[in-house]
């Protein structure tokens, strides 16, 4: 069997990297020559988690073909969110918690998708099903992924399974769940030293909707005003991204992790779909979205319905 690369989506977040590390480790325990890799460098939140548990960030890869390897995908399935030559790859497995779209393979594969808040919650189940013990540092990065994806259980995507998994993993990792979780989330809100382009690329995904391409970026903060003090520069960068990358509509979701509200900044067209999706009016290209924290559950489905309704 050839080498197997395990990776999450582009612009990797803590779950994309954490689930890749954990799932690759499980595969190695099962006799597979697997390596966790990444499609980008870890953000500050993820690096905080890696450092805390003594883990090294996976190496970054840009092409499957140059690696001559089979692949397993975690935390994504849509091809436009994956490695550039994913259509040429032999996909052996997918473990994910997102919608299934724009995905096809020539051969049968293992596919595990569950409607939970985090891919790492599913990976923990797989360890148990295979009777493989979770090492302390792996438990730590999986815990970090769940905290990140659920915003310490505040996200509407969070399920009781995620909470139970996080508590179990916190015990295995020997950390206090609440204090560690809040410290990790705050580590990811250091935005002042990042350029507008870097902010827009921290956690961004593209989605085909009807005949349009919609880019949705999300930034977590403890101060919305700090981010929107840079509104004009952010808007200019979004317009430039639309022109360069061919996006029709670019949405920046800025989320306050302390009170679980978000503010939306919009660039591009059709803007009326944003108004329809969230039942808001755009004022100065912005709209306040109370209680909205999840791109997966509170943004993308609503936009998809507006575009395809």
Would you list the domain boundaries of the chain? 4-189, 196-308
How confident is the model over 147-164, as pLDDT tens digits?
Answer: 999 999 999 999 999 999
Q: What percent of the chain has pLDDT over 70?
A: 100
**pLDDT for 190 beyond 90:** no
pLDDT of residue 135: 98
Q: Name the class of domain 4-189.
A: alpha beta
pLDDT of residue 93: 98
Q: In the chain, count of helices (H) and strands (E)?
A: 12, 10
Report the chain's mean pLDDT, rounded to a whole number. Answer: 95
Is 75 among the annotated ligand-binding positions? yes
Strands 4-7 and 34-36: parallel
pLDDT of residue 1: 59
How confident is the model over 87-104, as pLDDT tens digits?
Answer: 989 999 999 999 999 999
Give dist(CA 158, CA 278) in Å, integer.
21
Helix pair 177-187, 136-150: axis angle to 10 deg: 70
How confident is the model over 241-277, as pLDDT tens digits?
Answer: 999 999 999 999 999 988 899 999 999 999 999 999 9
Yes or no: is domain 196-308 CATH 3.40.50.720?
no
Is 149 among the annotated ligand-binding positions? yes
Q: What is the pTM of this model?
A: 0.85
DSSP string, 51-86: HHTT-PPPPB-S-SGGGT-EEEEES---GGGS-TTG
Is 193 among the annotated ligand-binding positions? no
Is 211 among the annotated ligand-binding positions? no
Contacts of residues 51-55 at CB distance under 8 Å and 24 or more positions apart, as own/partner, are 52/140, 52/144, 52/175, 52/180, 52/184, 53/136, 53/137, 53/140, 53/141, 53/144, 53/173, 54/137, 55/21, 55/137, 55/140, 55/141
Structure-token pair, residue 294: 């999840």
């Amino acid at each position: 069997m050839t080498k197997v690369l395990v990776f999450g989506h582009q612009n990797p977040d803590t779950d994309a990297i954490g689930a890749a590390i954990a799932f690759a480790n499980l595969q190695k325990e099962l006799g597979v020559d697997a390596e966790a890799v990444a499609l980008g460098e870890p953000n500050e939140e993820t690096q905080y988690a890696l450092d805390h548990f003594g883990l090294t960030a996976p190496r970054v890869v840009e092409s499957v073909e140059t690696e001559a390897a089979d692949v397993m995908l975690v935390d994504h399935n849509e091809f436009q969110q994956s490695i550039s030559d994913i259509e040429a790859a032999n996909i052996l497995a997918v473990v994910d918690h997102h919608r299934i779209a724009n995905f096809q393979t020539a051969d049968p594969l293992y596919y595990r998708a569950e409607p939970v808040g985090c891919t790492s919650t599913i990976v923990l189940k797989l360890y148990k099903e295979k009777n493989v013990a979770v090492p302390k540092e792996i438990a730590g990065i999986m815990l970090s992924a769940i905290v990140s994806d659920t915003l310490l259980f505040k996200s509407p995507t969070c399920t009781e399974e995620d909470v139970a998994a996080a508590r179990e993993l916190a015990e295995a990792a020997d950390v206090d769940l609440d204090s560690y979780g809040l410290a990790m989330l705050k580590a990811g809100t250091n935005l002042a030293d990042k350029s507008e382009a870097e902010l827009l690329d921290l956690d961004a995904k593209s989605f085909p909707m009807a005949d349009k391409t919609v880019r949705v970026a999300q930034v977590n903060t403890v101060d919305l005003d700090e981010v929107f003090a840079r509104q004009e520069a952010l808007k200019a960068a979004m317009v430039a991204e639309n022109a360069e990358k061919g996006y029709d509509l670019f949405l920046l979701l800025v989320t306050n992790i302390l009170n679980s509200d978000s503010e939306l900044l919009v660039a591009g067209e059709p803007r009326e779909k944003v108004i329809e999706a969230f039942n808001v009016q755009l004022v100065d290209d912005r709209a306040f979205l109370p209680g909205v924290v999840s791109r997966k559950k509170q943004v993308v489905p609503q936009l998809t319905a507006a575009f395809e309704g």
